[in-house]
């Protein structure tokens, strides 16, 4: 599905969203986690604390993942280039940002991310109900991330103030300067890490599409 087929209305965007594997996987994980949590019962104030804690930490998580994983720069060790599938996928997304086929979480990530989340929450939470509260909230936030990121890259522009703000912020990252505006669903991580400058204070980057890399190699290093 290329730019010419990109949704132009919210209804069409929502209808096509679940044509892609990642939203279906995450929605399935959400449904299972929520169903198990409801079946377990035993609600306490700690359920609310976990949800609020995740929401508070989410913007920093988005920032850290975007900066250190998605924008990871390959390094050469003893003549061999060390690179990874996720940042390679993200570089393809930057090169072709309006191609909605390649903007979602890569499918192979779920093979380890979902079992790892399950193991961590069950292993670290004091009770099983609280573990599934964390799992459910995490997957809901992940599904929202996929939806917002997808919507920004369609031809539809959100009408609400909140989502239009997210739309503008992420498009600045892709079209103005890739070194700023890393938040997708929450923007406080950029404010905290000082990557949300005034627009006029930031030069337009010539490397928004390439991230300064060509074929996995640093352009500056190659030129040197």
Using left for φ > 0, alpha for ψ between -120 and 50, and beta otherwise, residue 41 falls in left
Number of domains in the chain: 1
For residue 42, what are the domain limits? Answer: 3-159
Residue 31: predicted pLDDT: 97
Closest CA to 33 of 139, 122, 125, 142: 139
Structural domain contains residue 169: no
Asked, for residue 217, whether it belongs to a domain, the answer is: no
Nearest to 156 by CA among 222, 100, 96: 100
Residue 167 counted as domain residue: no
10 Å Cβ neighbour count for 88?
Answer: 15
The reported pTM is: 0.91
Q: Residue 219 falls within a domain, yes or no?
A: no
The answer to whether residue 220 sits within a structural domain is no
Instruction: In whole angstroms, give the CA distance from residue 98 to residue 170.
Output: 13
Q: How far apart are CA 65 and CA 206, in angstroms?
A: 23
Residue in 205, 219, 212 with CA at minimum distance from that of residue 177: 205
- Decide if 101 is inside a domain: yes
- Residue 44, pLDDT score: 96
Residue 204 belongs to a domain:
no
Q: Are 208 and 176 in contact (CB under 8 A)?
A: yes
The low-confidence residues of the chain, meaning pLDDT below 50, are 1, 3-4, 216, 218-224
Sign, CA dihedral 53-56-62-63, equals negative
User: Does residue 84 form part of some domain?
Assistant: yes
Cβ-based neighbour number of residue 48 at 10 Å: 11
pLDDT of residue 215: 54
């Amino acid at each position: 599905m290329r730019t010419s087929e990109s949704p132009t209305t919210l209804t069409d965007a929502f209808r096509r969203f679940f044509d892609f594997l990642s939203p279906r996987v995450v929605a399935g994980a959400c449904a299972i986690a929520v169903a198990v949590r409801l079946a377990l019962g035993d609600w306490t104030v700690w359920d609310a604390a976990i949800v609020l804690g995740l929401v508070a930490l989410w913007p920093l998580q988005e920032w850290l993942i975007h900066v250190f994983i998605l924008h990871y720069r390959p390094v050469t060790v003893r003549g061999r280039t060390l690179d990874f599938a996720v940042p390679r996928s993200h570089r393809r997304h930057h090169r072709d940002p309006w191609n909605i086929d390649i903007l979602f979480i890569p499918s192979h990530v779920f093979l380890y991310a979902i079992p790892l989340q399950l193991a961590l929450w069950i292993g670290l939470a004091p009770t099983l109900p609280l573990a599934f509260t964390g799992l459910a909230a995490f997957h809901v936030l992940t599904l929202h991330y996929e939806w917002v990121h997808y919507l920004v890259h369609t031809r539809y522009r959100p009408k609400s103030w909140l989502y239009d703000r997210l739309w503008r912020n992420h498009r600045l990252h892709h079209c103005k300067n890739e070194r700023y505006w890393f938040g997708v669903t929450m923007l406080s991580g950029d404010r905290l890490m000082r990557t949300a400058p005034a627009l006029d204070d930031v030069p337009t980057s010539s490397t928004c599409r390439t991230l300064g890399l060509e074929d996995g190699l640093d352009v500056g290093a190659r030129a040197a």
